[in-house]
Chains A and B, each alone.
Chain A
Amino acid sequence: NAGVTQTPKFQVLKTGQSMTLQCAQDMNHNSMYWYRQDPGMGLRLIYYSASEGTTDKGEVPNGYNVSRLNKREFSLRLESAAPSQTSVYFCASSEVRGTGELFFGEGSRLTVL
């Protein structure tokens, strides 16, 4: 089992460019999440999907969109990247009625120039 897989691992963008971060999990989890990690600010929730077909905003959704493509896949899109979106992005999944443990991907380091 691969667990949670994110692509790409590294990306450099220019201000105004768009991109999509891809995430897939093979644990048959219902819930999936996108977090961003910035120094001194911990992990902040951008968007989450409690189950297939639903998405909802987290703490810092501005500038992002998401798509829950199917039960396995949850993508994060930056329509017009800004330097403030330079961060490390983590996708995670969990089983809502299970232990509650979040399983994270390896992270995607995004730099916006």
Chain B
Amino acid sequence: GENVEQHPSTLSVQEGDSAVIKCTYSDSASNYFPWYKQELGKRPQLIIDIRSNVGEKKDQRIAVTLNKTAKHFSLHITETQPEDSAVYFCAARGSGGYQKVTFGTGTKLQVIP
């Protein structure tokens, strides 16, 4: 089955700096890569996703890049703000009809004001 590894497990940045979270996946058939944000005590919510036919996607201060050859993808947050503090999960889903979503172990991001 799919295996998703995520690094780092914790990340502290100064407000205004950039944050990068990296993930690798094992199944070359995976074709959908979402990122979820989970604030303390809340449910995970989708913040951005990318499909395997796209190399990069941006949405305001967040962007995701995908390298299919190396089987890794990354989340980039620019101009970080205190409200970006949360746990971020990467995930991967296989192709061909219904496939399960496999999550990484999460990155706790702390933005220091």
On A, residues with C-beta under 8 Å from B are: 31, 33, 35, 40-45, 48, 50, 58-59, 90, 96, 99-102, 104-107
Q: Known contacts being A99-B49, A104-B43, is A59 close to B1, with CB within 8 Å?
A: yes
Report how far A50 CA is from B94 CA in the complex, Å.
14
Q: Are A105 and B49 also in contact (CB < 8 A) when A44-B103, A100-B93 are?
A: no
Q: Point out residues on B near A: beta carbons under 8 Å.
A: 1, 6, 9, 32, 34, 36, 42-46, 49, 89, 93, 97-98, 100-106
Indicate if the CB atoms of A43 and B98 lie closer than 8 Å.
Answer: no
**Cα–Cα, bound, A48→B102 (Å):** 12
Complex interface: chain B residues within 8 A of A43 (CB): 44, 89, 103
Given contacts A100-B49, A102-B46, A106-B43, contact A41 B105 (CB under 8 A): yes
A43, B32: Cα distance in complex, Å: 17
How far is A58 from B34 in the complex, measured between Cα atoms in Å? 19
Number of A-B contacts (CB under 8 A): 50
Q: In the complex the two chains form, is A90's CB within 8 Å of B93's CB?
A: no
A contact residues around B102 at 8 Å (CB): 45, 59
Provide the bound-state CA to CA distance between A35 and B38, in Å.
Answer: 14
Which residues from B are CB-within-8-Å of A50?
Answer: 98
Extra inter-chain contacts (7) besides given A42-B106, A99-B49, A100-B49, CB under 8 Å: A31-B98, A48-B100, A59-B1, A90-B43, A102-B101, A106-B42, A106-B43
Given contacts A31-B98, A59-B1, A107-B43, contact A101 B49 (CB under 8 A): yes
Q: B89 to chain A: which residues have CB within 8 Å?
A: 42-43
7 examples of A-B residue contacts, CB within 8 angstroms: A40-B9, A90-B43, A96-B98, A99-B49, A102-B34, A102-B44, A107-B43
